[in-house]
Amino acid sequence: MLADFLQYDFLRHTFLTGILIGIIAPLLGTFIVVRRLSLIADALSHVTLAGIAFGMMMEKKFAVTFLTPFYSGMAFSVLGSILIEKLRGVYKAYQELAIPIIMSGGVGLSVIFISVADGFNTDLFNYLFGSVSAVSQNDFLLILVISIIIVGVVALFYKELFTLSFDEEHATVSGLHAKRIHLLFIVLTALVIAASIRIVGVLLVSALMTLPVAASMRLAKGFKQMMFLSVIFGELAVMIGLISGYYLSIPPGGTIVMVSIVILLLSIGIKKLRPNLSKVRESE
């Protein structure tokens, strides 16, 4: 079943990229979910879409080729994330307001850029729902670098990210630089989203960050365990989703998300069974 993925270059790059985003998306997703910021991923993915559309417009209308939609999407995503963090500072009591502001801004810009670039095409369809054939070698290398950075930063700043997510006031009192760490975190999130979009698509990228976490949350004892389980679930979803999407000719965004939902349902089912299981173990 994997034969095609190993044989063809473009599929191999997709597959390797899939392995990477199966790690990094749920990894940051754990922090996003516990901080109740699930919608930020959606807002940022729409800003990324605006960036992608901007890149397409520049290519088509102005023959600018050095700025591929992938890079411009990433640039917009990072800028959008910084803007969200600033807006959250402005509306302290209504921090979630930053999300619809950025999200609608992203969609608005997308519409403008897309129509200037002569409207909808298959490329755009791939960006919306993901594609098994969209990852070039250069894209892959960039995503590899981003993944290394993300795993490194999360490992180095794990205790700060964890402490701040749990209790921001206490963390600040004890002397942590909440603002800087939030900013660092949201920029990382923007990078993950931009990196994942080629495979999962704009509309479904937030699902890959949150659904595996939602599933592992029900099973895990403690935060580290939840992180670990989330990555395993994310990886499973990406692998099964990519392969089945390829053979069924369905954009992988759809299949990956459906696999994630099945995992989520299973975890809810297991949780219901588990109390009985542990009782059995005790009586042995």
User: Applying CB under 8 A, which residues contact another protein?
Assistant: 34, 36, 156-157, 159-160, 162-163, 165-167, 169-176, 217, 220-226
User: Long-range contact list for 158-164, CB < 8 A, 24+ apart?
Assistant: 161/31, 161/185, 162/31, 162/223
Cβ proximity to another protein: between 77 and 230 the closer is 230
CA distances from 3 to 9, 14, 15, 209 (A): 12, 14, 11, 28
Q: How far is the CB of 86 from another protein (least distance, A)?
A: 22
Whether 144 contacts 20, CB under 8 Å: yes
Q: How far is the CB of 27 from another protein (least distance, A)?
A: 15
Q: How far is the CB of 259 from another protein (least distance, A)?
A: 23
Q: How far is the CB of 250 from another protein (least distance, A)?
A: 33
Cβ proximity to another protein: between 34 and 107 the closer is 34
Q: How far is the CB of 271 from another protein (least distance, A)?
A: 13
Q: How far is the CB of 156 from another protein (least distance, A)?
A: 6
The encoded tokens of residue 111 equal 């519409």
CA distances from 87 to 90, 94, 103, 178, 183 (A): 5, 10, 13, 15, 12
Instruction: Select from 236, 21, 263 the least CA-distant residue to 134.
Output: 21
Cβ proximity to another protein: between 119 and 222 the closer is 222
Cβ proximity to another protein: between 16 and 184 the closer is 184
How far is it, in rounded angstroms, from Cα 100 to Cα 252? 27
Cβ proximity to another protein: between 181 and 256 the closer is 181
Cβ proximity to another protein: between 21 and 171 the closer is 171
- Burial call 147-178: b when 16+ CB within 10 Å, e when fewer: beebeebbeebeebbbbbbeeeeebeeeebee
